[in-house]
Amino acid sequence: MNAPHSAKVAGIDSTVPSPAHTVASAAPGTCPAAPQSATYTADTAETADTANVTDRPGTPCAPGALLQDRLAGWVSDLTTLHELTERLVRTDSLADGLQELLRAGAVLVGARRGLVTLEPADGLGPDTTVGLGLARADLGHIETVPRDALPHGRILDGLPVGEGGLAEPDLFAEKLLDPRHREVAARLGYAASYALPLSAESSASTGAAGSTGDNERAERTARLGAAVWFYDEPAEPDARQRHLAGLYTRYAAPHLARLLEVERTRASMATLAEELLPSRLPRVPGVQLAARHRTGPRGGGDWYDALPLPDAALGLAVGSVTGAGPSAVAAMGRLRASLRAYAVMEGEDPVAVLSDLELLLRLTEPARSATALFGYCEPALRRITLAGAGHSPPLLIGQRRTEYAETSVSAPLGMLACWEAPSVEVQAEPGETVLLYTDGLLHRTGGPADRAFARLHAAAAGVPRAARQDPDAVAEHVLRTVLPDGRAEADSEEDVVLLAVRFD
């Protein structure tokens, strides 16, 4: 009679090795030890053993109890993997994703510290190293070890690695261990390591059906980097820990690859936006200039400009194009270039400059609108003639006053059949600063408009007296005060632009 087959359970991979608690043989008619499961803690990577006190080794075992125990182990492992991958997919930045990978891997392999080195095979970056339980100085010490002496370094150099990863169970027992590696391991207090590669399927085409061989399949596997975990004592993960860690990294790699592409897109959009803005501000007698620009993750359409004009004058502009992404950045570049041309031709009349810009926008970008503020600055007279289209009023910051300049109410460009609004003159005193800004500064506060304006006014009024002599210090103080707790640098859909003009 043939032996009965084990029942198939949905979601269970029959190739998964037996759980650790069933590997040890049990005496006939007795139950093995109760299953152990890894419990994940969100704040710290640690394992906690849980045992069923009713099932003890040596107690009589009912028929099928061994199979039930094995199934319970598989379910426990699948539940752990599910929880860890769920936490990973909720990360929305590359830095958070790498940290979550390290924490989850430490849980699965029973380690306390580790690092992941991101080094995409396409060479496009970003190349970075993130540590878990390792300070920046510790990472620096590890980087002094020759690359081929480190397990993750050998992986990055293309050393073939099986599904089991690269384990070094006792570093100090290895006679061929690199002396520098031995020194660093002793300094940092780790005695063993376990490393795994991070690879994801590339987006290259697979070619004709049936013509793809093993080499081509290997080429389509794009290396992202490598992760390594460190043990304080000689140790190595067992077969099941290796299997679970391998499964997790295979699940994690595609998500990290997507986060990598998002990070690259953000960097590209920020670079493109910066390249479309002035590389440096002009030096004009009688005024000092400073600017701040923060780009959103998708790339926005906020801009600023300052260009010398005839008769020792200066053209000042800030503005914003609706939308986000590459198209908005491109539209911003076109609009800014056009405004520069109009400013050179008729800059002494800001209303005419914005009227021409509105006509161009309506003809070439009919689906967009834009806000803009253009000022014709005469440094010798400490005077700025302003025209605004749906834009927030500038702010005057001096020793005796901090107030918004009164500007006429007007619609954004592209909203009306024919835009027109009167200009206003802003007369500054010696030592005063005129602050131009885009609405993103107000929107990024997350509060109502009136509160945002009040916060901006309070931040400007609170600029230290010594800092008011430097427009760069004024802009920095206002930005950090209006957007505290890192919100000036944090990702936001809103761009932020500040242009500070201080009169001597």
- pTM value surpassing 0.85: no
What is the domain range of residue 424?
Answer: 276-503
Look at residue 22 and tell me if it is in a domain. Answer: no
**Per the structure, how many domains does the chain have?**
2
91 three-state secondary structure: coil
- Comparing 468 with 202, the larger pLDDT belongs to 468
Asked if 301 and 261 sit in the same domain, the reply is no
* CA dist., res. 399 & res. 366, Å (int): 45
Alpha-carbon span 42 to 40, nearest angstrom: 6
Which CATH number fits the domain that encloses residue 324?
Answer: 3.60.40.10
Q: Are residues 401 and 451 in the same domain?
A: yes
Cis preceding linkage at 350, omega within 30: no
Considering just the CA atoms, what is the radius of gyration of the chain in Å?
Answer: 32
pLDDT at 51 over 80: no
Per-residue pLDDT tens over the stretch 249-284 = 999 999 999 999 988 887 887 777 777 888 889 999
Exposed, middle or buried, 280 (CB in 10 Å: 0-12/13-18/19+)?
exposed
As to burial, measured by CB atoms within 10 angstroms (0-12 exposed, 13-18 middle, 19+ buried), residue 357 is buried
Does residue 40 lie within any of the structural domains?
Answer: no
Can you tell me the distance from the alpha carbon of 379 to that of 427, in angstroms, rounded to the nearest whole number? 11
Residue 76: partners with Cβ closer than 8 Å, 6 or more residues away: 19, 35, 37
**Domain-located, residue 29:** no
Longest dimension (CA), the chain: 107
Examine the domain organization and report whether 289 and 172 are in the same domain: no
- Kindly state the average pLDDT of the residues 190-210: 69
| 4, part of any domain | no
pLDDT one-digit tens code per residue, 149-169: 999 999 999 887 776 899 999
Are 331 and 221 in a shared domain?
A: no
Specify the DSSP class assigned to residue 279.
S
Same domain, 439 and 497: yes
Spell out a b/e string for 216-226, using b for 16 or more CB atoms within 10 Å of the CB, else e: eeeebebbbbb
* Interhelix angle 65-89/239-275, nearest 10 degrees: 10
Is the predicted pLDDT of residue 6 greater than 70, yes or no? Answer: no
Can you give the pLDDT at residue 407?
80
Q: Distance between CA atoms of 215 and 217, rounded to whole angstroms? A: 5
The CATH number for 165's domain is: 3.30.450.40
pLDDT single digits (tens) 316-355: 999 999 887 788 888 888 999 999 999 999 999 999 999 9
Q: Report how far residue 251's alpha carbon sits from residue 245's, in angstroms, rounded to the nearest whole number.
A: 10
